[in-house]
Structure 1
């Protein structure tokens, strides 16, 4: 009855199946044949097969999972990938029954795996159509929509693992290359920051994908990673009618040429106990959420539907959801599109010089709170100098937050044991003038540890 309440499935249609004991397997297979529609009829006699998955094997190269819609795929056949235009020769064919079994032919509406001496996963695109090289099909199958990376963050090697024969950066690069072979939806590119050194800008399909990649890099690659706070991609509408997509706030064009900034919006579904509905609604309202609906699930649980900006849920939304519901709440989201809002770029300045590595894009209403939190963390990390250091957050030319690192002061009046007050005042004024002169020509070197402390995801 619980399955009927949670998923809305009729209880009488459920089949008792145990993969451990084998109970109900025959009934399950019979139900699949009865309830699922028959495969479609072939539309042409020419070969058309759809690639739906692929993985890398150390001994055979890329193993392609494919389904034949038209014609037949044979061993030794010369094939053409219609999307990439690459030519290959089939060296091995097989089916999973569920164990891999080699065959010589895959007929129409059959699915199996194919090996064609393909060296890298970059040569295979999921959703591509396989056809014959000498007698190709006139048009490709519809295929799949290309996966779009929506969440971005930076991975930097931790310096705590120093002392080996190879640098931490090279170890991280090799780990990412091995991981990318088996997960083509994960993208990365090397980048260099004067503040943070060498690292990688990585793109992920979502939050769960990002957590899995980080865990696999640390476990399989044996490398320690410092991960910055995640960001999202933004669409910048220019005044000339064009649109530009950016993933890094430092890449924002000149504000005078920008018509508006659009951010990704998600449809969020939360399953929560009845007693936590009010707290979750308050949480979503504080994250610029729009209430869309409420569904009755059972006597103790309900489903809440909201529309929220993706940037508002990628940082700590899930943790707060679990905290409010004491672990009983769950969430699911999907990207629905982009929407224009009152978004601004906040620049962080140290001693009057902007630091692009700390800049961020956020809503104007939350800009002051977020920038002040960054400045307070940065103030604790920068050492005191001989002059006062001003830490400022600005939107354009307007300062919205400020913190100060006080100057180190020498007690110049210690040698005065008495006498006229003008003697002490003269020494203090001389010290003040020296501090002002030092401030105009002095520079502040921000250590890498300070950037890591500010940018690292909590």
Structure 2
């Protein structure tokens, strides 16, 4: 008897059921001939035809209540108990619960009964921060609808607009929902006006809810069923599945999150991805209900996980499709155009474009192998990270990683430590530059006329550079209009150019600026929050490259170059930057027995200097009187010794010193 045993949320055993759900649930895929007691629910996945399936995401600006709303849907579906003391259920990572933000999209399959019909709702809870926008972009292509959630106390924010535009491009049906209507500071009428003015929603289609109390949530569930179209899938067609997420398991290899576009997949099937090199036998499949729950078959339109002991990530790439091996053989024997058409008709996941680059090295050189393994596993789960090998005289073998932003870099580093116990050193973040080289011989040496430089130490010699280009972004700022003057001053100080401004309502204004990415990545958002008391929100998108006056700033200790501190900086800010780093070096270098000259230079020109005095022994301490010339003679001899020591002395810069300088 294949039966799903589930204790209802108000039962005393609900806590234990929730905690050990994955080990107590068994989904059945065939009809049941037995009667089901009242405290048990049976699920027959086969009965959920595509017409009774809804795939949707929850999208919103950060901290607008997405995870709370998702938890409330799980509670209404009877999958979890209502416990305000517990953390958000779908925020499963340690870093998410520590920081109170969502950084990884999570999936859950819910079942609701409406009009004597059961519906399978596949929910994807997505992050709200711009640094994790790829999680939204890879989730929307498999969804037919999305909940656009807006905080009733804060209104439409910059990331709300970005998510709306992405959903519009993907032809995703949107259901506008105003959340937190129970909060005292809520201004529902004003937020409703913003949704109408900015996005042209009808007032009648805007739902008002409190995800915290559950008020209005059932009406949103009805809207999901009635307004979001079912997936255009067919059980009778040959199997075609789609990979849209993956993670690594030490025993089972790569486990993939899949959407079944057509047909069905069952345990024992031999499958192959369209761009893969070999076939695999399906070992385990299931759905998230809300934990990993084994089943035997997944049908068209359904979303679940799949394990086939895949070890090579090229055979289960995100954005690729898989079919039965027999189907692949048939397509291969036919005209290649049919296979090409199938690939072209797949949902499109945009390729992430890293904006910030940093070197990552093991805290101990002996841990290089372990760090490489941890990086490969984590990059599999976070495919928006770009990785390539790198090396440093101070840190040894390492990797150069590309991230979508500083928070993304910070969270990635913390996940390495939390999930893989890998202690790392991450160098100062930088952006990529494009350099045009002159001279046929030089172009031949570098392989092409224009190269991309992600590491300042790999910059070609200055005398062969014809042009420097730096990345620019278009920033969107949504703010109360009383802060317009201070925001304009901040953007102009970062070499920004105002493109547009428009009023959202009587109190708030939408600003667009074009700015160099290098001026934004470090502390722009923090400064914006400070000068607007936290009321402004910021989002940005890339705007290509633009020629800039960029210089390479190098740092020397007693004339010896310290490569790890080399940076590419706009010439107008190079003096200020060099002075700040020289001061940090002076404050963090260990004391030396000789004087140390700390210099910042552009080429051969010194633009900043700090001097660290030598440690001195009191050579006159043994004198107890006599002529003053005795003391002068001892001091002169000490001075000569310090001069000789400076000529032959080697300054050992410890790893911890680099960490303090690079990470401040």
| Matched residue, 2:605 | 398
Whole-Å separation in 1 of the counterparts to 2:218 and 2:255: 30
Post-superposition shift, 1:28?
A: 3.5
2:295 alignment partner, one of 86, 102, 110: 102
1:324 and 1:145 mapped to 2: Cα distance? 35
Return closer, same or farther for 1:432/1:335 CA change in 2, 3 Å cut-off: same
Q: 1:18 & 1:413 partners in 2: Cα distance?
A: 78
Partner Cα distance (2:224, 2:244) in 1: 21
Distance 1:386 1:208 in 2: 41
- Aligned match of 1:293: 500
Q: Shift in Å at residue 360 of structure 1?
A: 0.3
* Distance change (3 Å), C-alpha of 1:11 and 1:216: farther
- TM-score of the pair, normalised by structure 1: 0.82
Question: How many Å apart are 1:234 and its aligned residue?
Answer: 2.2
User: In structure 1, the residue corresponding to 2:512 is in which secondary structure?
Assistant: strand
Show the counterpart of 2:477.
270
1:363-412 C-alpha deviation (Å, 9 max, x unpaired): 01001100110011112233454543222111122221122223456788
**How far off its partner does 1:236 sit?**
2.3
For residues 436 and 151 of structure 1, do their structure 2 counterparts lie closer, same or farther at Cα, with a shift above 3 Å needed?
same
Greater shift, 350-359 or 295-304, is seen at: 295-304
2:662 to 441, 451, 455: 455
Moved more, 322-331 or 139-148: 139-148
Flag the 1:117–1:412 CA change in 2: closer, same or farther, 3 A. closer
**CA displacement at 1:270 relative to structure 2:** 1.8
Q: Distance in 1 between matches of 2:473 and 2:416?
A: 28
Matched, 1:236 2:435: yes
Over 3 Å counting, the alpha-carbon distance change for 1:61 and 1:11 in structure 2 is: farther
The 3 A distance-change label for structure 1 pair 38 and 394 is same
Pick the aligned partner of 1:151 from 356, 364, 367: 356
| 2-structure distance, mates of 1:130, 1:27 | 37
Question: Are the counterparts in 2 of residues 65 and 114 from structure 1 also a CA contact under 8 Å?
Answer: yes
Distance in 2 of aligned mates of 1:41 and 1:196: 52
Q: 1:86–1:170: structure 2 CA closer, same or farther, 3 Å change rule?
A: closer
Pick closer, same or farther for the CA change 1:91–1:293 going to 2, 3 Å: same
- Report what 2:90 is aligned to: none
The equivalent residue for 1:205 is 404
Alpha-carbon offset, residue 449 of structure 1 = 3.1
| Contact preservation (8 Å) 1:273, 1:328 | yes
Contact 1:121 1:182 in 2 (8 A): no
Give the structure with the larger strand fraction: 1
In 1, Cα distance between the equivalents of 2:568 and 2:606?
Answer: 15
Contact 1:266–1:308 (Cα < 8 Å) also in 2: yes
Contact 1:261 1:341 in 2 (8 A): yes
Matched, 1:85 2:277: yes
SS in structure 2 at match of 1:116: strand
Q: 1:334 to 1:384 in 2, by over 3 A?
A: same
Q: Tell me, what secondary structure is at the counterpart of 2:339?
A: coil
Aligned residue among 111, 133, 139 for 2:328: 133
Give a deviation string over 1:237-259, Cα, whole Å, max 9, x none. 22235332232111112222322
Equivalents in 1 of 2:566, 2:359: separation in Å?
14
Per the normalisation by structure 2, the TM-score is 0.58
Describe the superposition over 1:334-358 as per-residue Cα deviations: whole angstroms up to 9, x where unpaired: 2232222111111111111111101
2:216 is equivalent to residue 13 of structure 1: no
Instruction: Check 1:413–1:58 CA distance in 2 against 1; reply closer, same or farther (3 A cut).
Output: closer
1:52: which partner in 2? 244
CA shift at 1:127, angstroms?
Answer: 0.9
Which residue in the other structure is 2:381 paired with? Answer: 182
CA RMSD of aligned residues (A): 3.8
Q: Which segment is superposed worse, 61-70 or 281-290?
A: 61-70
Q: Secondary structure of the equivalent of 1:307? A: strand
Equivalent pair of 1:176/1:217 in contact (CA under 8 Å):
yes
Residue 76 of structure 1 contacts residue 89 of structure 1 at CA under 8 Å; is this kept in 2? yes
Q: Would you say how many aligned residue pairs link Structure 1 and Structure 2?
A: 447
Q: Which of residues 306, 330, 350 in structure 2 aligns to 1:114?
A: 306
| 1:158-197 superposed matches below 5 A | 176=375, 178-188=377-387, 192-196=391-395
Q: In 2, distance between residues paired with 1:184 and 1:251?
A: 25
- Relative to structure 1, the CA distance from residue 58 to residue 28 in structure 2 (aligned partners, 3 Å threshold; closer, same or farther) is farther
**Separation in 1, partners of 2:216, 2:295:** 28
Q: Note if contact 1:120-1:181 (Cα within 8 Å) is conserved in structure 2.
A: no
Residue by residue over 1:81-106, the C-alpha shift from the partner in whole angstroms, topping out at 9 and shown as x without a partner, is: 22233322334445567785735363
Find the counterpart in structure 2 of residue 338 from structure 1: 545
Offset at residue 271 of structure 1 (A): 2.1
Instruction: Tell me, yes or no, if the aligned pair for 1:90 and 1:114 is still in contact at 8 Å.
Output: yes
Cross-structure match for 2:113: none
CA distance in 1: counterparts of 2:219 and 2:662, whole angstroms: 54
Identify the range of structure 1 (194-203 vs 330-339) with the bigger mean alpha-carbon deviation: 194-203
For the residues of structure 2 that align with 1:301 and 1:437, how far apart are their CA atoms?
67
For residues 337-356 of structure 1, what are the structure 2 equivalents within 5 Å?
Answer: 337-356=544-563
Q: Which structure's residues are more often helix, by fraction? A: 2
d(CA) in 2 for partners of 1:180, 1:355: 31
- What is the aligned counterpart of 1:4 among 166, 189, 192? 192
Residue 162 of structure 1 is matched in structure 2 by: none
Q: Is the 8 A contact 1:347 1:358 kept in 2?
A: yes
Higher mean alpha-carbon deviation, 32-41 vs 333-342, is at 32-41
Q: Deviations over 1:55-87 (max 9, x none)?
A: 345664433333344565555443322223332
Unaligned runs of at least 5 residues, structure 2: 1-188, 332-337
